[in-house]
């Protein structure tokens, strides 16, 4: 024992020496061109290192969350707080809505199903391990039994070694028998647990599906009633607007327009009165110095009414001999001038035209008959 410990200690010491030599050889030797630091540069170097460390501490202090938060404006901080409060209220409102509609219980069933899925996966692993252990134990026991059978086949030629081996194999077979029975029990329990978890998971999935169907039917029914309510509200608003609000608005608009028209008419009447007064003053100023002009103006209309004389031979002759008048009459016949006629006059003109046409057609026919 002492020699073994001594040899082990020597091997460890040699291994440590070899590792130290490798670590020393792995470092690069200092180059000849690089100067060694002098003792005089020591305090200056320490001062620079301390200044650099101080600057790094200052820069890290300026980047702390408290420092950056202190630089934010009050409006930005209020906006952040408002958004946080809004998010919390939205989450609370969604949870409250789920509680009201009954979806929280469905979420509880969903969480329970997720937990059962995890347990079922673990049960699958346990069943797989139990089956593997049972298979391994059976294989070992079968191997031991084959060896025992081989030894029993040559029982007459046993040696002391064979006897010891048989005793050992018998003891191992007894142990393996216990292992096989325990592995079988563990496998049976794992399979039963797996089956129970699988059934519970299936029942949970069916329950969740059933509850979600009921919840969706309830939401659909509430949505239908909400739609009918919105339609009724729209109808009521339509009736109110068409039969109450719109007439009131029209009356108010008409009243405003009438008031505006009254003001405008009063202003126009005032202007007309002023114009009438100014015209009356001008007429009075013109009428005083010119009485002869009024007499000439009074005689002039009488002269214009005199040309209404009956047609004489001279007038018909002048009319027949002047083509300008015929052209004017012909142009007037095809012009776009509108003539106001009564229905009686239009019917008389139509009958006269028809009679004249019939007379002309009859005369033409008579002439043709006489010639033939």
Cα separation values, 323 from 319, 331, 348, Å: 8, 12, 30
In the chain, the domains with their CATH numbers are 84-232 (1.20.120)
Q: Write down the pLDDT at residue 227.
A: 93
Burial (CB < 10 A; 0-12, 13-18, 19+), residue 120, is: middle
| pTM exceeds 0.75 | no
Q: Residue 65: which H helix or E strand, with range? A: helix 65-70
Could you tell me the two tokens for 156?
Answer: 């007459």
Please, which residues have CB within 8 angstroms of residue 113's CB and are 6 or more apart in sequence?
201, 204, 205, 208
The residue written with tokens 């029975």 in the block is: 181
Cα–Cα distance, 120 to 196 (Å, whole number): 9
Give the Cβ contact number of residue 93 at 10 Å. Answer: 10
Cα separation values, 235 from 75, 231, 232, 238, 239, Å: 45, 6, 5, 5, 6
Q: Write down the pLDDT at residue 201.
A: 93
Q: Answer for the pair 71, 77: CB distance below 8 angstroms, yes or no.
A: no
Q: Write down the pLDDT at residue 88.
A: 77
Cα–Cα distance, 87 to 69 (Å, whole number): 21
Q: Write down the pLDDT at residue 285.
A: 80
Q: Write down the pLDDT at residue 34.
A: 41
Residue 102 gets the label, from left (phi > 0), alpha (psi -120 to 50) or beta, of left
Could you read off the pLDDT tens digit of each residue along the chain, which spans 372 residues? 333 443 344 344 434 443 443 443 334 444 434 444 444 444 444 445 554 555 554 444 456 666 666 666 677 777 777 787 777 777 788 778 778 888 888 889 999 999 999 999 999 999 999 999 999 999 999 998 998 888 888 888 888 888 888 889 889 989 989 999 999 999 999 999 999 999 999 999 999 999 999 999 988 998 999 999 999 999 999 999 889 988 898 999 999 888 888 888 888 888 888 888 888 888 888 876 544 544 444 444 444 444 444 444 445 566 666 677 777 777 776 677 776 677 778 788 888 888 888 888 888 888 888 876
Please, which residues have CB within 8 angstroms of residue 98's CB and are 6 or more apart in sequence?
104, 107
The residue written with tokens 């300026």 in the block is: 62
Q: Answer for the pair 117, 201: CB distance below 8 angstroms, yes or no.
A: yes
Cα–Cα distance, 364 to 325 (Å, whole number): 31
Give the Cβ contact number of residue 349 at 10 Å. Answer: 11
Could you tell me the two tokens for 222?
Answer: 């509430």
Q: What is the 3-state secondary structure (H, E, C) of 330-361?
A: HHHHCCCCCCCCCHHHHHHHHHHHHHHHHHHH
Q: Write down the pLDDT at residue 307.
A: 42
CA 188 to chain centre: 55
Give the Cβ contact number of residue 131 at 10 Å. Answer: 15
Q: Write down the pLDDT at residue 119.
A: 93
């Amino acid at each position: 024992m002492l020699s073994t410990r001594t040899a082990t200690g020597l091997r460890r010491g040699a291994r440590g020496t070899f590792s130290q030599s490798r670590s020393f050889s792995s470092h690069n030797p200092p180059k000849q061109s690089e100067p060694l630091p002098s003792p005089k540069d020591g305090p200056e170097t320490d001062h620079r290192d301390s200044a650099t460390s101080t600057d790094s501490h200052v820069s890290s202090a300026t980047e702390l969350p408290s420092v950056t938060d202190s630089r934010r404006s009050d409006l930005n901080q209020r906006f952040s707080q408002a958004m946080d409060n809004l998010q919390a209220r939205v989450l609370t409102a969604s949870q409250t809505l789920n509680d009201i509609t009954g979806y929280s219980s469905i979420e509880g069933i969903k969480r329970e199903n997720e937990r059962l899925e995890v347990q079922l996966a673990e049960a699958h692993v346990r069943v797989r391990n139990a089956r593997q252990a049972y298979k391994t134990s059976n294989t070992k026991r079968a191997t031991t039994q084959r060896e025992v059978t081989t030894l029993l086949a040559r029982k007459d030629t046993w040696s002391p070694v064979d006897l010891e081996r048989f005793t050992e194999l018998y003891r191992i077979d007894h142990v393996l028998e216990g292992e096989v029975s325990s592995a079988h029990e563990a496998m049976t329990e794992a399979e039963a647990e797996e089956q129970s978890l699988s059934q519970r998971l299936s029942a949970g999935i069916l329950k969740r599906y059933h509850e979600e169907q009921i919840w969706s039917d309830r939401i659909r029914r509430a949505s239908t009633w909400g739609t009918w309510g919105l339609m009724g509200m729209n109808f009521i608003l339509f009736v109110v607007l068409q039969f109450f609000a719109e007439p009131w608005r029209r009356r108010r608009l008409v009243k405003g327009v009438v008031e505006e028209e009254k003001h405008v008419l009063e202003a126009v009447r005032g202007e007309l009165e002023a114009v009438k007064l100014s015209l009356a003053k001008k007429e009075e100023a013109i009428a005083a110095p010119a009485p002869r002009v009024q007499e000439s103006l009074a005689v002039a209309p009488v002269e214009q009414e005199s040309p209404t004389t009956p047609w004489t031979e001279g007038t018909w002759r002048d009319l027949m001999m002047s083509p300008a008048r015929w052209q004017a009459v012909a142009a007037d016949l095809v012009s776009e001038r509108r003539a106001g006629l009564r229905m009686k006059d239009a019917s008389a003109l139509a009958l006269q035209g028809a009679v004249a046409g019939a007379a002309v057609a009859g005369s033409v026919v008579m002439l043709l008959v006489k010639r033939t």
